Amino acid sequence: MRKVWTPPWAWVCGAVMVLGLFSFLQAYRQTQINARPGMTIMAGKLLILNLALWSIPALLMPAVVWAARRFPFDTGHKLRAVLAHAVGALTFASTHILGLIAVRFLLYEAGGKSPVVPWTRYFQNRIFEQLDASLMIYAVIVGVSHAIAYYHESQERKLRAAQLETRLVEARLKTLEAELHPHFLFNTLHAISTLVHRDPESADRMISRLSDLLRITFDRTGEPKVSLKEEIDFLQKYLDIEQTRFQDRLTVSVTVDPDALDGEVPRMILQPIVENAIKHGIAGRNGGDSVHITAGCENGRLWMQVRDNGGGLQVRTLKALRTGVGLSNTRARLDCLYGRHYRLEFTDKHGGLSVLIEIPFQRVNVAGQPAAAFRVA
């Protein structure tokens, strides 16, 4: 059975008063126009009669609303609904008209006087005067009930669709994160393996830092977004590993606007970009390598930039970026989270590559975490 919204009784009483007063003024003016000279217009009785005209439908409204809920027209039982509402409309009109006749009789014929016309004609006159208006009132109540019910159903459908879409996005994000973790772990283990025989002490430090990094990764599982401060903390654990691997060859600097630290960013959004900068930008060089990571916020946008001093957008680098897991994963996650409201741009700096990510700035709750600028070199 469809849920039908029922207006509060305060609204119903207010509507009855407004409609009753409007009908009274209309009837009063019409009586003035048609009154014979010396005729007294009984305004009080006329007001009571017009209030009754709208009060009786208001009292019958719960039954009409129930009928609208019980017999909707958009189901497979249209004939049954039509018959039910035909009976309901006639019952409603009969009750409305008989109620008005009773009120009119109490107001004007309570002294025991009979109408000036026979009772049968009196009833027929009253029925044909009011029947169309009563049927129209019934149809309006049923129509408004259905319209409001359709509105609520459409809102519920939109809400369910939005919830389903959110669950689908969350499932896709989890899939992308599950894809990213083995890729990240494999590359890091590969970097460690290059030092196991050549520099066992450095390899041991890298394994220890990888352990810390994995602990942070697993602790944050299930959170698609984190603060930029947490992301930078995580990134520095990864950079510790890479700096152990490259030692004095690699210089890393991280500069973040303090106002941007509590901005919300996708988890592990910077690590694949920095990994690409090290792997494809500077790993083949002989020294003097640097990676600069900067971030800030401006005009409601949060931007993060990773720049290296490698070979720039060479053919080999472009192919690696297009086919690599890290970049495609990053772009897919940005698509899921921000749709068209993000930027991911690569710029050849003629002596390095700059990668810019820009997303809407949204502050996260970082109570108890003092903001501080990062500058690591």
How confident is the model over 312-327, as pLDDT tens digits?
Answer: 766 666 666 666 677 8
Q: Mean pLDDT throughout 95-111?
A: 83
- Nearest-5° Cα angle at 181, 179 to 186: 105
Q: What percent of the chain has pLDDT over 70?
A: 85
Output the pLDDT for position 316: 64
How confident is the model over 279-295, as pLDDT tens digits?
Answer: 766 655 666 778 899 99
pLDDT of residue 215 exceeding 70, the answer is yes
How confident is the model over 125-171, as pLDDT tens digits?
Answer: 888 888 999 999 999 999 988 888 888 888 889 998 888 888 777 77
Q: Are 277 and 310 in contact (CB under 8 A)?
A: yes
Q: Which position has the higher pLDDT, 330 or 218?
A: 330
One-letter amino acid identity for 323?
T
Output the pLDDT for position 292: 92
Q: Mean pLDDT throughout 362-366?
A: 76
Q: Which of 43-47, 213-217, 248-252, 323-327 has the highest mean pLDDT?
A: 43-47
Q: Mean pLDDT throughout 115-122?
A: 74
Output the pLDDT for position 358: 95
Tell me the pLDDT band of 370, cut-offs 50, 70 and 90: very low
Mean pLDDT of the chain: 81
Task: Please compute, for residue 27, the number of CA atoms within 13 A of its CA located in the half-sphere on the CB side.
Answer: 18
How many CB atoms are located within 10 Å of the residue 101 CB?
A: 16
Record the pTM.
Answer: 0.56
Q: Give bridge partners of residue 354 from the DSSP assignment.
A: 307, 347
Q: Mean pLDDT throughout 119-129?
A: 82
pLDDT of residue 112 exceeding 60, the answer is no
What is the C-alpha separation between 253 and 164, in angstroms, rounded?
Answer: 42
Q: Are 277 and 353 in contact (CB under 8 A)?
A: yes
pLDDT of residue 115 exceeding 70, the answer is no
